[in-house]
Structure 1
Amino acid sequence: MAPLLQIFILSLLVSLIYCADPITKSCSQSYTGSGIETNINQVLSDLVTKASVGGFAVSSYGKGNNMIYGLAQCRGDVSSGDCSSCLADAAKALPVVCPKQTDARVWYDYCFMRYDTDNFIGQADTSSPVILYNVNNATDPDAFDKAVSKLMNKVNSEAVSAGNGLLGREKTKFTQYITIYALAQCTRDLQPLQCAQCLSSTLQYFPVYCSHRQGCRVLYTSCMVRYEIYPFYFPLDSKAKNPGAAKYATTIVHPH
């Protein structure tokens, strides 16, 4: 198959992900009345409009205890079209999956969106991570874990380097037939040091949940890391072989 055709097919398959169900959600703090709901709708509309242009936006609307703060961000490697579509899906989904809640967050493959009555902008949040891991183990698991560790440190460093927009993407050839792909990203309201601390915090869960796994991701509100043995970030690797559908287990780590 010609490389350009491979890239087109992979792009088509991956571009379908944004319209799937959310990866996960988080909801808390019930409210009553229409005032907050009006402010939430205004913030969501504002986030979709602004973040569709640059891939990131913050917004606020309302007064006093009814003030709503919002943030939206797309994965830094996706196209503007996929970003806009994901944001539109997220804005529609949030009030539905978190009905009458003032602290609402939703994660998709291509984007993340949240709103809250507390002003969280510029604050790193590393509570209650969501962890998804491939149920299949890697071959030569100890060597695989070492390769993953080295790769994750590399993408985390890349994410906080100047000019990268708090996004890191790298790959490493593990064997002749297996390439490991990794991505790290922080929300762009954070400073580089905050981002570095957030990304570093994700790695504490790797020995517990990701060890020997063919793929794994840790999702915080403020940052996320992920690795797979297939290309999942853009530009897609045209030389990669499709490993078939992977099965994932999900764990939410609640604070003690």
Structure 2
Amino acid sequence: MTKAIQSIPYRRIFFCLFGYVLLSERVVVGDPRAQTVQVMCGRQLEHNSTIFVPNFVATMENISEQMRASGFGVAVSGSGPDINYGLAQCYGDLSLLDCVLCYAEARTILPQCYPYNGGRIFLDGCFMRAENYSFYEEYMGPGDKAVCGNTTRKNSTFTESTRQAVSQAVTSASNNQGYAGVQFTVPGTNESAYVLANCWKTLNASSCRACLENASASVMECLPSSEGRALNTGCFMRYSDTDFLNKDPGNGSSRGSIVIIVVSIASSLVVLGLGVSMGVYIWKRRYIMKKRRGYNDAQKSARTLNDSSLNFKLHGESCHTNVEKIPGRKSGGAL
């Protein structure tokens, strides 16, 4: 994302609008867990900016409608090298209202991967990805990693309890449409290990289980730290000694529906603004490049004239030319 685009306070406008709605409606929400864990941008530059940007915005708009209805969405816009595939999904314990809030945050951050044509963002409550190819059945990849929280070092009892909780989550999620939230009491203490496991809904059961098993092996390397997250191509896993799970992922009240509508509109305006900013940036970049080409052409022409064999002298001085004398003619005579 360019400095010009980053300087425009679209996200600030969005959160001001959202704050106003919350105050006016007095809506009580859960925890959307909209904290960013990791943004991973692709390495391939977009092919054609004037086509890529509208395709990306159209994909995000299509997904937004699905997220408001079910907390999950996939969409495809365009064709050829500028085609855009998108996926967004909230984790299974989020209410629909919390989901929309989390997605709104992801939607304003992912465009920062521009001018690369792909990227993914892991938040603690949702996931979003966009690419120029169909990635929906991918469940493992070279970018899979664990992110550990080293705030507290736990004892062996917590470590063993966490291993059991993670194993239980893998089994439960594989048999529960890809989602599981587990609380496992640590023996002899008043604390618990909390685990969330979630696959993307585009995966089948076997791919989901394979992803979670790989994620569990990765996240267990964070122990004895008090918290760890596995960021995999097809799934997300988190354990913690703090209860981060939402207990009642209901769809919310009618006032919550009002917030969903307002937040969706606000986030749409944010992305639209980012799209316009991208367009302005592209136009300015091309204009500058065109001027540079003109300047370079002028310099080249000047060098060509300067290096020319025709060396004219002005102010009454004669032109020096190499004229072959004709035999029998005197210098200066008529030909």
Q: Give the TM-score range, shorter chain.
A: 0.7 to 0.9
CA RMSD in angstroms comes to: 1.9
Partner of 1:167: 179
Unmatched 5+ residue regions in structure 2? 1-27, 249-335
Question: What is the rounded CA distance, in whole Å, between the counterparts of 1:71 and 1:167 in structure 2?
Answer: 17
Identity %: 23
Q: Give SS of 1:151's match.
A: helix
| Bigger CA radius of gyration | 2
Once the two structures are superposed, the pairs formed by residues 26-105 of structure 1 within 5 Å of their partners are 26-28=40-42, 29-31=44-46, 32-95=48-111, 97-105=112-120
Equivalent position to 2:225, from 187, 200, 213: 213
Say yes or no: does 1:148 pair with 2:156: no
Cα deviations by residue, 1:177-226 (Å, 9 ceiling, x for unpaired): 21111110000000010000001111232453x12111111111310111
Q: Give SS of 2:225's match.
A: coil
Q: Give SS of 1:135's match.
A: strand
Equivalent position to 2:204, from 191, 195, 208: 191
Cα deviations by residue, 1:1-23 (Å, 9 ceiling, x for unpaired): xxxxxxxxxx86x62642x4x22
For residue 129 of structure 1, report the CA deviation from its aligned partner. 2.3
Question: What is the rounded CA distance, in whole Å, between the counterparts of 1:194 and 1:16 in structure 2?
Answer: 27
- Residue identity in the other structure for 1:152: V
Partner of 2:144: 129
- The alignment covers a number of residue pairs equal to 218
Partner of 1:245: none
Q: Give SS of 2:94's match.
A: coil
Checking the alignment, whether the CA contact within 8 Å between 1:217 and 1:227 is kept in structure 2 is: yes
Of Structure 1 and Structure 2, which has the larger fraction of its residues in strand? 1
Greater alpha carbon shift after TM alignment, 183-192 vs 48-57: 48-57
For residue 101 of structure 1, report the CA deviation from its aligned partner. 1.5
Question: What is the rounded CA distance, in whole Å, between the counterparts of 1:16 and 1:78 in structure 2?
Answer: 7
Question: What is the rounded CA distance, in whole Å, between the counterparts of 2:219 and 2:82 in structure 1?
Answer: 39
Cα deviations by residue, 1:119-151 (Å, 9 ceiling, x for unpaired): 11122233322422221444432x322211111
Checking the alignment, whether the CA contact within 8 Å between 1:138 and 1:144 is kept in structure 2 is: no
Partner of 2:284: none
Of Structure 1 and Structure 2, which has the larger fraction of its residues in helix? 2
Unmatched 5+ residue regions in structure 1? 1-10, 237-256
Q: Give SS of 2:73's match.
A: strand
CA 16–140 in structure 1, closer or farther in 2 if over 3 Å, else same: same
Question: What is the rounded CA distance, in whole Å, between the counterparts of 2:60 and 2:154 in structure 1?
Answer: 44
For residue 33 of structure 1, report the CA deviation from its aligned partner. 2.1
- Residue identity in the other structure for 1:33: S
Cα deviations by residue, 1:23-70 (Å, 9 ceiling, x for unpaired): 211112112421011101100111111122111111101012221111
Question: What is the rounded CA distance, in whole Å, between the counterparts of 1:206 and 1:63 in structure 2?
Answer: 38
Q: Give SS of 1:44's match.
A: helix
Checking the alignment, whether the CA contact within 8 Å between 2:138 and 2:233 is kept in structure 1 is: no
